[in-house]
Amino acid sequence: MDVTALLDHHRLHYLHETVRFGSVRAAAAGLDINPSVISRQIAQLEKELGITLIERLSRGIRPTEAGELLLQRFRQWSADQDDTIAKLRDLQGLKRGHIDIVLGEGFVSDLMSGPLGKFWQRHPHLTMSFDLAGTNEVVNAVAEDRYHIGMVFNAPADPRIRVATAIHQPICVIVPPGHALTARNRPVRLRELADLPLGLMHPSYGTRQIVAMAEASERIGLAPKLVTSSISVLRHFVKSGMGLTLLPAFSVATDLADRSLAALPVDHPLLGSTKACVITRLGRELPDGASHLLRFVSSRMRAFRATGGRRGAE
């Protein structure tokens, strides 16, 4: 039997949506078709392949190893199809096309404050979608071809992704102007923050993950007064005088420029070695619009301007 003939795009699409929504019924509602159609097609595919593709659990379903292999094939197939269509549009001189971007919140102000507007002046007919996510989700979303480009702080090593740009951006102590720490003529020691009120990002975010590693290396435990998934919340937390936070300076660049906040260096090698990264899926050839944007933001955004590091692929 020719297995490749069984890998019908519609069947794989039904399998993908069933796993994504968590049930056949939810997938059918999303696709606006009868649930029996999806169930029948998946069952037929399992029968013809002679292998189980999904496991039915008490709460939803999950793919088997074979099912995950087919899902990866479908994602790559869909991404290749989208990129081919985009490349055909690129032949019109970037007059049409769409770019999907997933990024950490810290990059938003930087991107929107100038670089994106300048890019659209050059390519006014390109459309984009932006979604915000934590570090791990950005990496997974790009690796699974749900987005063309990801912007992430301190990207973890992952064989599925390519780091197109990486610039050293140390984590600093963000304080209100005139705070007592600003009077010291040396970097702040991590231990000095242990007894101060702190607001920190949720553990799924790169900044918090590296701070946790630094805490472990110093054998101290920071007890945050506030934990959040929003940099905006942390900015207001500090501006209101409720406490301090730890963030890369570029994520509050606008506040530093108007002097409503100050960024102080921290004396710790881990916090000084962090990087702002632009990532793509390893092996994916981006359509021209996405490639142009990748190069543009890498050269225009504050996050990717060297601060003692260097720009380059890793």
Residue 87: what pLDDT? 66
pLDDT, position 60: 78
Task: Provide the residue ranges of all domains of the chain, joining segments of one domain with +.
Answer: 3-71, 92-168+275-304, 171-272
Dihedral over Cα of 4, 6, 8, 14: its sign: negative
- In the prediction, which pLDDT does 71 show? 85
Measured CA to CA, the distance from residue 113 to residue 127 in angstroms comes to: 18
Q: What is the mean pLDDT of each run of 10 residues along the chain (314 residues)?
A: 57 86 86 86 86 83 87 81 69 70 92 90 90 92 94 92 94 95 91 94 88 94 93 96 95 91 95 94 88 91 68 36
| pTM score of the predicted model | 0.67
Q: Is 59 exposed, middle or buried (0-12, 13-18, 19+ CB in 10 A)?
A: exposed
C-alpha distances out from residue 302 to 49, 129, 270, 305, Å:
51, 21, 21, 5
For residue 89, the model assigns a pLDDT of 63
- What's the pLDDT at 54? 87
Integer Cα distance of 124 and 141 in angstroms:
26
Amino acid identity for residue 178 in this structure: G
In this structure, CATH architecture of domain 92-168+275-304: 3-Layer(aba) Sandwich (3.40)
CATH class of 171-272: alpha beta
Q: What is the pLDDT of residue 93?
A: 52
* Fold of the domain built from segment(s) 3-71: Arc Repressor Mutant, subunit A (1.10.10)
What pLDDT, on a 0 to 100 scale, did the predictor assign at position 210?
A: 93
Q: Which pLDDT value is given to residue 17?
A: 87
Same fold, 3-71 and 171-272: no
